[in-house]
């Protein structure tokens, strides 16, 4: 029964990760941290032997992520358009509900030091700065219509996907935001809706390359100085709350409803984190 609950947790986390990386401003990496699978995932894909050893976990997570991406391209996208305030604040609730876990993971081996404020503030400023760029609406949104195999386009898509995928697992940084910076976001969303595999396949290849590279880098950084890395992660997570504040947020009825959804998201985050036990038990 415990194994079932563990893999159910991994599937649900995959779904949320997939949804988050399609929606601009929402960080899939943040969702990994608040649900307690960030260390597990980055460690599991940091080498060929580890990938083989953790294959069942990775397949379960990947299936969930694929389902989340398809779901967000169809259903969640319409929710963000129709109920933007409530949906964004639900995600804010998920994020805030995971903050105690981030602090617990970061201080598991060492106590907080005054120097921790430096990576915290730098990373928070980075996320807020990137979100300001997004809100200024200066990003390229050109759609490329691809109806057949194109080697140059495929190489471009692999490169863009690899770059975006690295940011997908970094807490606080939105993978979809990076796709917007690279000018391929609308092309990918259109391809998902139309099931255009001339776009989806090269993008998927690049995403796998980027996620594995990014995971290896993050694993090395955590191994070197876990406390400072998690201080930076906490800054990114807090900064991401500002990043996904919706238009229309303020002293109004919509925001009042939004707070209700935020209060649902906070305990839900803790519930999912506890579903399969701690990360240490899952390894």
Percent of the chain with pLDDT over 70: 81
What whole-number distance in Å separates Cα of residue 175 and Cα of residue 9?
22
Provide the mean pLDDT of the chain.
78
Does the pLDDT at position 248 exceed 70? no
Q: Can you give the pLDDT at residue 59?
A: 92
pLDDT confidence band for 60 (50 / 70 / 90): very high
What is the 8-class DSSP label of residue 171? T
Does the pLDDT at position 219 exceed 70? yes
Tokens standing for 221? Answer: 């950084």
Kindly list the distances between the CA atom of residue 47 and the CA atoms of 1, 14, 237, in Å, as whole numbers in the listed order.
29, 20, 27
How do residues 82-141 score in pLDDT, each as one tens digit? 777 887 788 788 778 778 877 877 787 788 888 889 999 998 898 788 777 766 655 444
Q: Are 179 and 134 a contacting pair, CB within 8 Å?
A: no
Task: Count each helix (H run) and each strand (E run) in the chain, helices first.
Answer: 16, 0
SS3 265: helix
How do residues 17-41 score in pLDDT, each as one tens digit? 888 777 665 678 777 877 778 888 8
**Span of 49-53, 137-141, 173-177, 260-264 with lowest mean pLDDT:** 137-141
Q: Can you give the pLDDT at residue 29?
A: 78
């Amino acid at each position: 029964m415990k194994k079932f609950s563990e893999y159910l947790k991994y599937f649900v986390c995959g779904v949320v990760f997939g949804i988050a990386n399609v929606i601009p401003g929402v960080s899939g990496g943040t969702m990994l941290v608040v649900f307690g699978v960030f260390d597990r995932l980055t460690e599991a894909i940091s080498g060929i032997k580890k990938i083989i050893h953790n294959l069942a976990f990775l397949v379960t997570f990947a299936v969930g992520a694929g389902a989340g991406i398809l779901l967000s391209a169809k259903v969640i996208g319409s929710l963000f358009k129709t109920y933007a305030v409530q949906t964004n604040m639900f995600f804010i609730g998920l994020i805030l509900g995971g903050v105690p876990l981030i602090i617990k993971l970061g201080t598991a081996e060492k106590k907080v030091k005054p120097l921790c404020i430096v990576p915290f503030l730098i990373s928070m400023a980075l996320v807020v700065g990137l979100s300001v760029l997004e809100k200024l609406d200066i990003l390229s949104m050109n759609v490329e219509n691809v109806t057949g195999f194109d080697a140059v386009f495929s190489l471009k898509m692999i490169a863009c996907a690899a770059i975006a995928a690295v940011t997908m697992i970094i807490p606080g940084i939105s993978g979809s935001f990076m796709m917007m910076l690279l000018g391929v976001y609308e092309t990918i969303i259109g391809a998902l809706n139309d099931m255009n595999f001339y776009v989806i396949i090269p993008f998927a290849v690049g995403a796998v390359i980027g996620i594995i590279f990014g995971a290896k880098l993050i694993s090395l950084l955590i191994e070197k100085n876990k406390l400072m890395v998690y201080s930076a992660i906490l800054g990114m997570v807090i900064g991401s709350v500002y990043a996904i504040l919706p238009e229309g947020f303020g002293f109004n009825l919509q925001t009042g409803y939004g707070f209700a959804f935020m209060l649902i998201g906070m305990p839900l985050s803790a519930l999912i984190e506890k579903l399969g036990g701690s990360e240490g038990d899952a390894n």
